[in-house]
Amino acid sequence: MRRRAFIATSGLGLAGAALAAPALAQSQPEIKWRMAASWPKSLDTLFGGAEFLAKRVAEATDNKFQIRVFAGGEIVPPLQVLDAVQNNTVEMGHTASYYYVGKDPTFGIDSTIPFGMNYRQMNAWLTHGGGMELLRNFFKDYNIYNLPAGNTGAQMGGWWRKEIKTVEDLKGIKFRVGGSGGAVMTKLGVVPQTIAGGDIYPSLEKGTIDAAEWVGPYDDEKLGFYKVAKFYYYPGWWEGQTNLSVYVNLGQWEKLPKSYQAILTAACAEAEGWMIGKYDADNVAAMRRLIAGGTQLRPFSKEILDACYKATQDLFAEYSAKNPKWKAIYEPWKKFLGDQHQWFRVAEQNFDNYMLSKS
């Protein structure tokens, strides 16, 4: 259920819910939850998105339902949010599901997988393509109710100490990368590293890793990567969009009053729109500052993209052959994406290409 579904079922959006708060407050219980996030507080779009949705829930319930947000490491390590929610250490979390592909690569589909959907296509699949139903069935096995609650849009290809022009140049590179992108790059000789956002800079500075990706100009500037690596590559083909999720412990979700469930669902959807809008707005000035400061933009070569694409298709075929849970979600996901491409190449792509040629 997303924004429109909430409005349809409740008859009011968050603004209306806020107006109805006095009546709601008289009949609903006071609830205080903790939300463990995977992000450092310094990232005011990722961590800020978690704070935004908590604020909206409080406003819509006249402060009867309060969610306290904790940054990565304050309660649990940034990459252990799934376990904390599953075990009811905290009632909920805000994270990216591809952090948990080591448990099952299927987690990546909830967030993003290489050469996958853009934001518009992911939103369509989740809301009208059966995506949420498939993912909810998967997450039940982990005692979690998942809600889309943020998106970065297409990401950059990361910061590299040296230029990468050929597939041969990738061999032996220690690269911080999230999700299934690391498994793809392994096929090309890269040594992928899984490192939480707040720990990437010191690893890059000390030379523990040779390159690192995070999100895009606004966040990357905040984390200071430009100080220790000057080549900034694009596109992040492993993240054509990145859907961020709220995880709610399934038992806690089922105990919530229906009105609180609806308000939390709507707040997550609103946070998603808030987040991608903020990234699209703030990345512009950040990119200009980075370039003015000496950052050198570089596109991945066609040779590298083609090799990565082939390695991706090989990897997904391996997953489908070995993992029934992956195949049950990936196959309809793949068909939906193919259908979306038929539409996007008609109007969307041509409009975008023409407008960009005039900029």
Q: Is residue 77 part of a domain?
A: yes
The CATH number for 121's domain is 3.40.190.170
Q: 16 pLDDT band (50/70/90 cuts)?
A: low
Residue 26 is predicted with a pLDDT of 61
Residue-range definition of the domain harbouring residue 59: 3-151+240-280
Question: Strand 144-151 relative to strand 243-249: parallel, antiparallel, unpaired?
Answer: antiparallel
Q: Which residue has 């090799």 as its token pair? A: 307
Q: 9 pLDDT band (50/70/90 cuts)?
A: very low
Nearest to residue 246, comparing CAs of 150, 120, 138, 324? 150
Give the count of domains, the chain: 1
pLDDT digits (tens, 9 = 90+) for 106-129: 999 999 999 999 999 999 999 999
Give the count of beta carbons closer than 10 Å to the beta carbon of residue 125: 24
Q: Is residue 192 part of a domain?
A: no
Q: What b/e readout covers 62-82, taking b as 16+ CB neighbours within 10 angstroms?
A: bebbebebbbbbebbebbbbb
Q: Is residue 74 part of a domain?
A: yes
